[in-house]
Amino acid sequence: MKTTIKFISAEQILPLRSAHYSKIIDDVRKTAEWKATVKREQAGAEQIIKGTYWKKLPPNFVKPEDLKNIF
């Protein structure tokens, strides 16, 4: 048996539950905050693809590989 898993956003599901979410989502997508979030998410996705995600963190930030030495 072959299973396919597809991830979809809440923005795709909410209007199916109630039509009033469509207007809310449309209004929010026009905000500067939404656009900034999308830009950061795209940059993060690019970093993951390039393998540079987690590479430029502030010096006081705990990296996942640092936790290996604790346990």
Residue 54 pLDDT class (50, 70, 90 cuts): confident
Query: How many angstroms separate the CA atoms of 1 and 40, rounded?
Result: 38
Q: How many residues does the chain have?
A: 71
Which residue bears the tokens 């987690």? 54
Bigger pLDDT: 4 vs 55: 4
Asked whether residue 52 carries a pLDDT value surpassing 90, the answer given is: no
- CB count in 10 Å sphere of residue 57: 10
Residue 62 pLDDT class (50, 70, 90 cuts): confident
Average pLDDT (1-22) is: 93
Query: Helix (H, G, I), strand (E, B), or coil: what is residue 14?
Result: helix
Condensed to tens digits (0 to 9), the pLDDT of residues 21-33 reads 999 999 999 999 9
Query: How many angstroms separate the CA atoms of 64 and 17, rounded?
Result: 38
